[in-house]
Structure 1
């Protein structure tokens, strides 16, 4: 399965009382599909997965897939630091109509590379859906090494990796040793173009919530061979790629989504909303990028 080139790690809209706003989630998913996204990742870190219940996640999977239909890939975030819980959620998610699953490296436990291999293997074998691995050492404290990804690539339905390690040498090694059809996606907006240059498949983006059309122009230019144009877009978008992480994700992007007229709402504790200074910075940043 081809997951596409731009996938958005979607925020989870919340009502004023912090309940999930499922109706608005469907509306946001449609908006993203109309503004550059080939696919949507639901209940990932940007979707505040640590504070979502299993029932909330499953309903989000159903609602988002129903909203975007067959033309847009929906990937369900099912990973946790409990293999058993991840397996159970994978099995339930497979019944909601989603197209694939994503599982993050277990956080806090600090497993060995063998432990990581066994964790992901067991999750993959719990469902027939294609599985994407997610490596983000800055949040998990463990780096999923290229050699372990190579082992996992031999599990039939492990087909992709979201790589947010931030080291191009590691990305180069991944592309050197992995099968050509194994998809590697950037997990950092600012590294989209550098990773495309290394032969990666695309980006799992946060910024695409607000500059999805512009990112599509950048990515399309790259794949059409217009590297100069792709670079111009990369440089133009760099301020927003970096600026939307002025405080903990997804606080900034959720604020900006609200400014678009989509009711993303607030974040759940322990996260708190952007302060007035951050809001002013973000508003001006998006305005400059859109007008510049």
Structure 2
């Protein structure tokens, strides 16, 4: 973990409440305010849990703007801007930065199965376009491609790349990632069943789906671990 993470603890990968006519902003606002009242440490809007890939472009933009406005600086807001089309991701990253997001979360290009060189090129172009910290998101079970530890190492010195949401599930690869870049990038668990294991290696927290319904407990698990109350954190994990 670095000395200045975007957040430390639990961030909720928010769902996006929908009606047949589009985003239900009334319910979305209630969800955001409830999450903050419950003590969540940060919010992710329009991530893959928020169905970003199936939102219309104007819905994607409106959701980011709404989340930033509703959170009103109470917690960091991280905007999902990843796509399998790099130019779209570059444009959405620029938009999110201008809209006031505190950081962006960029999933690997899905379906296309980019090479590691292709991932480096795509992430570099996106990070070059960003004025806010960029968190790389690795979830090979969903995208069909995995960011290898050596690829993280190749990207770690980019000034705008600040963290990793790691959901590959492979503990050996996670260990290798910490060995290579754990002092340069903040690493967050992307799997709710691996929060404590990632924290034990020096992780900064979790970007969680579970915390959509259990924000207080998920955040408390992380902060118990940070405070040295590992028994409580492990009990909560189990």
- TM-score of the aligned structures, taking structure 1 as reference length: 0.78
Number of residue pairs aligned between Structure 1 and Structure 2: 234
Asked if the contact 2:44–2:78 (Cα under 8 Å) also holds between the matched residues in 1, the reply is: yes
Asked if the contact 2:41–2:75 (Cα under 8 Å) also holds between the matched residues in 1, the reply is: yes
Structure 2 counterparts to residues 1-292 of structure 1, below 5 A: 1-4=4-7, 5-15=9-19, 17-235=20-238
Unaligned runs of 5+ in 1: 236-292
Per the alignment, in what secondary structure is the counterpart of residue 159 of structure 1? strand
Name the CA distance, whole Å, in 1 between partners of 2:187 and 2:81: 19
Per the alignment, in what secondary structure is the counterpart of residue 79 of structure 2? strand
Name the CA distance, whole Å, in 2 between partners of 1:68 and 1:123: 25
Alpha-carbon distance, 1:217 to partner: 2.2
* Structure showing the higher strand proportion among its residues: 2
Name the CA distance, whole Å, in 2 between partners of 1:181 and 1:153: 6
Alpha-carbon RMSD: 1.2
Unaligned runs of 5+ in 2: none
Structure 1 residue ranges (4+ consecutive) displaced by more than 6 angstroms after TM superposition: none
Alpha-carbon distance, 1:71 to partner: 2.4
Task: Report which of the two structures shows the higher radius of gyration computed on alpha carbons.
Answer: 1
Asked if the contact 1:3–1:38 (Cα under 8 Å) also holds between the matched residues in 2, the reply is: no
Name the CA distance, whole Å, in 1 between partners of 2:178 and 2:190: 15
Name the CA distance, whole Å, in 2 between partners of 1:179 and 1:216: 21
Alpha-carbon distance, 1:145 to partner: 0.4
Asked if the contact 1:6–1:202 (Cα under 8 Å) also holds between the matched residues in 2, the reply is: yes
